[in-house]
Structure 1
Amino acid sequence: MKLRVQGTGPTSPFLSARDLFETEHDLSLPVYVQLRDDPDVRTWAGHYDDRHVLNISRQAASSAMARELALHELAHMARYEQEHPSHIQSTEEVLYLALAGKSVERRKLSHCYQIANHMKDIYADDITLAVGPGEKLLSFFESSLAAAVADRPESPPRPGFERLSASADPEITAVNAAFALALAERHELVDDDHRLYDLAHAAAMDAPHIEFEEFKRRFRELARDPDSSSYRQVLVEATRAYVGGSGPAAD
């Protein structure tokens, strides 16, 4: 697998990620790592006819998570080359099928994209966690969820209602918690008394209209090798579960 780092910055995390990845997988197209100045740029993979591009900020490339972030994006590239349904299914098509005839808030529509990305991440991390350790990923989930749960509003809550995760939207925070716990359980990264369970419970309590356990089950039990039709149906059902309502089947 060919990997080239473009721009000034560390190279060892990407070379280390490549070495881990190549113990089980390979890519047909070369990978260009684009180091960006903007520290707010999220790590993401771009796919083109002749290459993949791993976009990452220099700040992230110098962090303790750099190798894990790179390995995760290499796994996305592998899924794309495999034409895995999670990586070639149009999210827009799913939203049209799931939400036809419904009026949906803009924030909830953006959350539906995030749910689709969570499913992509689970399939990518089935590769990531097969070739590398999961301790740093688990710590990242724990710290991120702890920050959301601890972020309380400045103003007092309404009588009889204490909001546990304030700044982040509580509904998608609950779904994010379900995703984190589902991935941890799917790969047996947590014991029953792990702190992630307490944090996820707090996030779920903040969003009583979200079926937390059902979302966790959906994420955890995603079929390892779905066909296009069954994957589309699962994503349609998850979308409807989040925004409410029902409709015709995806096929």
Structure 2
Amino acid sequence: MDVQVRGGGPERPFLGAASLFGTEYDLQRPVQVEVRDDPDERTRVGHTDDRHRLIISRQAATSAMARELALHEFAHMYRHERSHPSHVQSTDEVLFLALAGRSVERRKVTHCYQIANHVKDIYADDLWLDLAPGEKLVRFFESTLAIAVSDRPAERQPTWTRRTPASDPDITAVNAAFALAQAERHDLIDRDHRLYDLAHAAAEDAPDVSLNTFKHRFLSLEPDPDDSGFRKALVDLTREYVLEERRAAD
């Protein structure tokens, strides 16, 4: 693997990740890593015909998760090069197929894009979690879920509205299901792990979202789906999220 680091950031986590990733997988195109000072843009990946481009914040590049973040992004690049359905399927097309003719809240549509990104992450993590320990990923899930769960009103009232997708209880419950699915998919946690308690708390705040249903859907994603099978799985996930609240109300 050809990896070049620019922007005055540390090279070690990226070169170390490349060396580890290269023991099992090889990227056909070189990788250009750009370390930037913007702390709000943790990582972003772009692809051209002649290279992959990873933009990462200096804060992320110097964090304890730097190597794992690099492995994760290299895995996305690998999936993209191999035209894995999860990385070439248009999310806009899926939303059209799943929601045509339906009126959907803007926040729900935004959440559907986040769910599609979760699916991409599952297929990326399927690669690198076979190469490196997943303890840091579990701690990351635990930390982010704890923050999201704590960011809720003292009393649940039907008139209360979240201002950002990240703190919305519905997508927080789906995020919890994703975290549990990843942890179980790769045997990263025991049944008494705190992540289960946090996920249960998230589910309590979102009674119209089934934590177990979404966990099962994430867990049951086939490792090597064909284009049609993957499209159907993502359409089903989208409909499950958008329409579940209506079914609960009925």
The residue number in structure 2 matching 1:82 is 82
Query: Does residue 1:57 correspond to 2:57, yes or no?
Result: yes
Give per-residue Cα distances to partners, 1:23-58, cap 9 Å, x unaligned: 110000000001112110131211111100111001
5+ residue gaps, structure 1, are: 246-251
Kept in 2: contact 1:17–1:68 (CA 8 A): yes
Distance 1:89 1:152 in 2: 34
Q: How does 1:83-122 map to 2 (within 5 A)?
A: 83-122=83-122
Letter in 2 for 1:151: D
Q: How does 1:154-165 map to 2 (within 5 A)?
A: 156-158=155-157
Q: How does 1:108-147 map to 2 (within 5 A)?
A: 108-147=108-147
Kept in 2: contact 1:36–1:58 (CA 8 A): yes
Kept in 1: contact 2:152–2:167 (CA 8 A): no
**Superposition deviation, residue 152 in structure 1:** 3.1
The residue number in structure 2 matching 1:222 is 221
Letter in 1 for 2:50: D
Query: How many percent identity over aligned positions?
Result: 66
Q: How does 1:12-31 map to 2 (within 5 A)?
A: 12-31=12-31
**Superposition deviation, residue 149 in structure 1:** 1.2
Distance 1:27 1:7 in 2: 22
Distance 2:151 2:45 in 1: 30
Q: How many residues align?
A: 240
Alpha carbons of structure 1 residues 4 and 167: separation in structure 2 relative to 1, 3 Å: closer
Distance 2:99 2:157 in 1: 32
**Superposition deviation, residue 158 in structure 1:** 3.4
Letter in 1 for 2:108: K
**Superposition deviation, residue 103 in structure 1:** 1.0
Distance 1:20 1:214 in 2: 35
TM-score, length of structure 2 as denominator length: 0.92
Give per-residue Cα distances to partners, 1:52-72, cap 9 Å, x unaligned: 011100111011111110110
Distance 2:12 2:157 in 1: 51
The residue number in structure 2 matching 1:210 is 209
Q: Secondary structure at the match of 1:131?
A: coil
**Superposition deviation, residue 147 in structure 1:** 1.0
Q: Secondary structure at the match of 1:225?
A: coil
The residue number in structure 2 matching 1:190 is 189
Distance 2:142 2:31 in 1: 30
Give per-residue Cα distances to partners, 1:147-168, cap 9 Å, x unaligned: 1112232x64439x9x9xx970
Kept in 1: contact 2:166–2:172 (CA 8 A): no
TM-score, length of structure 1 as denominator length: 0.92
Q: Which runs of 4+ in 1 moved over 6 A?
A: none
Distance 1:92 1:218 in 2: 20
Distance 1:62 1:56 in 2: 10
Letter in 2 for 1:13: P
Letter in 1 for 2:84: H
Q: Secondary structure at the match of 1:244?
A: helix
5+ residue gaps, structure 2, are: 245-250
Q: Secondary structure at the match of 1:32?
A: strand
